[in-house]
């Protein structure tokens, strides 16, 4: 039996990884293969997993840390073991958390009990042109994800002028000259680019703990949330709020709320999350106690 091919999707917070994953699942090269997914989130509640399009695949959630960190290594290996022994898919797609610090993932794939069951196909790094230059100087994860990429997908090209995209492309080529690039809107990667990717193994030790200055807080919101109070709580966090994602009901139905730095979007939640009221915040240089205090009047925790 041929080993399961592994695709890893990385990209800093808000780059559009789940959107890309949903498009990837529609490509003929993926849709017609037996596929398994691992969705990895830094927070305690898995939001992204609920946004993955329904399909004929098995999904495993690994929360509370990065799959590349020793803190959740046991959970990651356990998921790999179940996939290798029980499912034996043709393809495994892993969506890493936005603050993942990639390492040599092949060390995980050679763990006892699963060695020989998996083979890396490629690591795809999704880049948000609105924020990459902003975060790369002080967020090591953004740079390391790029370093480990076999292919670079520059997303959201409809939101950035062509000259800025060209400048960003040159910067990315300087940081990882061996990785081919493609420009997309809404994560719509083309089959030809996906099929052309070839994995190159790179050295990199597993990190022993999450980044000390980045924290995730997951909360359960009240059945009805005052939007003004919600925005006021977010405003108190200011630029310490790196990412917010989850489901809120302002009184007229559940909406999916997302923010990346100072950009906020709201749209109707998928039907499968109509009764969900969970929210995850990823913040920088602030304690979890202080974050919870800002949202105390809005949560049911």
We report the CATH number of the domain holding residue 109 as: 3.40.50.300
**pLDDT at position 138, please?**
83
105 with 180, same domain?
yes
Domain for residue 231, yes or no? yes
Q: What is the DSSP letter of 185?
A: S
User: Do 169 and 242 share a domain, yes or no?
Assistant: no
User: Is residue 256 in some structural domain?
Assistant: yes
Beta pairing partners, 299:
221
Both 224 and 138 in one domain: the answer is no
Same domain, residue pair 27 and 176:
yes
Q: What is the mean pLDDT of residues 206-217?
A: 86
pLDDT for 193 equals: 97
Q: Is the pLDDT of residue 301 over 80?
A: no
Same domain assignment for residues 13 and 117: yes
Residue count of the chain: 301
Give residue-wise pLDDT tens across range 120-175: 999 999 999 999 998 998 889 999 999 999 999 999 999 999 999 999 999 999 99
Last residue of a domain, one of 196, 228, 246: 196
Phi-psi region of 127 (alpha: psi -120 to 50; beta: other; left: phi over 0): beta
If asked whether residues 19 and 88 sit together in one domain, one would say: yes
Most confidently modeled range among 51-55, 84-88, 297-301: 84-88
pLDDT mean over 270-295: 93
Considering only residues 138 and 72, tell me which one the structure prediction assigns the higher pLDDT: 72
Angle, CA 134 vertex, CA 46 and CA 140 arms, to 5°: 65
Global confidence as pTM: 0.93
Q: Which residues span the domain enclosing 222?
A: 214-298
Is residue 201 situated within a structural domain? no
């Amino acid at each position: 039996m041929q080993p399961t091919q592994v695709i890893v999707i990385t990209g800093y917070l808000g780059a559009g990884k789940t959107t890309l994953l949903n498009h990837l699942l529609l490509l003929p090269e993926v849709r017609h293969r037996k596929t398994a997914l691992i969705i990895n989130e830094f927070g305690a509640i898995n939001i992204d997993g609920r946004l993955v399009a329904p399909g004929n695949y098995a999904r495993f959630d690994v929360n509370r840390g990065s799959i590349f960190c020793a803190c959740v290594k046991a959970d990651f290996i356990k998921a790999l073991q179940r996939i290798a022994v029980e499912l034996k898919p043709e393809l495994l797609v892993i969506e890493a958390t936005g603050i993942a610090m990639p390492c040599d993932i092949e060390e995980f794939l050679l763990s006892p009990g699963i060695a020989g069951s998996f083979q890396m196909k490629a690591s795809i790094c999704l880049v948000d042109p609105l924020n990459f230059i902003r975060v790369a100087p002080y967020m090591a994860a953004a740079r390391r994800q790029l370093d480990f990429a076999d292919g670079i997908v520059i997303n959201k090209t409809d939101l950035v002028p062509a000259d800025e995209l060209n400048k960003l492309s040159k910067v990315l080529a300087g940081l990882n000259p061996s990785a081919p690039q493609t420009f997309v809107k809404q994560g719509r990667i083309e089959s030809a680019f996906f099929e052309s990717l070839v994995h190159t193994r790179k050295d990199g030790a597993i990190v022993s703990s999450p980044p000390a200055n980045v924290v995730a807080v997951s909360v359960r919101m009240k059945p009805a949330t005052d939007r003004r109070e919600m925005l006021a709580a977010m405003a108190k966090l200011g630029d310490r709020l790196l990412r917010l994602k989850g489901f809120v009901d302002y009184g007229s139905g559940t909406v999916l709320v997302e923010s990346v730095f100072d950009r906020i979007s709201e749209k109707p939640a998928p039907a499968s999350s109509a009764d969900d009221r969970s929210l995850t915040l990823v913040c920088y240089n602030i304690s979890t106690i202080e974050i919870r205090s800002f949202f105390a009047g809005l949560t049911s925790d």
